[in-house]
Amino acid sequence: MIVTETNLKDCFVIEPKIFGDTRGYFFESFNEKVFEDKTGLSINFVQDSEAFSNKGVLRGLHFQKGMHAQAKLVRVVKGKVLDVAVDIRPDSKTYGKHFAIILSEENKKQLFVPRGFAHGYAVLENNTIFNYKCDNYYHPTSEGGIIYNDPNLNIDWMLDENEILLSDKDKKLGLFKN
């Protein structure tokens, strides 16, 4: 497993070692000991979730606040997304900065998004299945979000504006500065 820290502290790209032959492939998607050895972070995932979406769906930017903050390990099982993490930790040197990566069924890359980050993704192919592990349970009253097209973040979502499909909740998210 190759683990590379992004330009955002504690946010890592994880590339599993894939074993393939004529029958198909096998890879270990998570190993707690290897993760801790390579990142220096101790993590205890308590919830796995999965989402199905078609091209143009944009989910985010979401986060959980306070004691309900969540770290996530995200990957694509089928299809392709542009995955984005935004550092919203006020005391961080990379506060307000973002990291974006293509996650796909072909590259099998994963992104570890630590607590104190907003997270979102844009679906780039139809029939995409997105999977994520969380180290804390979802708590509705602790959720927050940032509008996807915040001018201060200036994220290129790799979709035309007229292709983007948002939930009603995501259409109402506020600006990063607030």
Which residue is catalytic, options 98, 121, 132, 148?
Answer: 132
Instruction: Report, in this order, helix, strand and coil percent for the chain, each rounded to 5.
Output: 10, 45, 45
Which residue is catalytic, options 62, 98, 121, 148?
Answer: 62
> Token digits for 153?
């973040």
132 among known catalytic residues: yes
How far apart (Å, rounded) are the C-alpha atoms in residues 80 and 158?
12
Half-sphere exposure of 167 (CA within 13 A, CB side): 12
Number of H helices, E strands in the chain: 2, 13
The 98-104 sheet, strands edge to edge: 98-104, 80-87, 117-123, 58-64, 143-145
What is the sign, positive or negative, of the torsion defined by CA atoms of 32, 38, 42, 47? negative
68 among known catalytic residues: no
C-beta separation of 74 from 132 below 8 A: yes
Q: Which residues are catalytic?
A: 62, 132
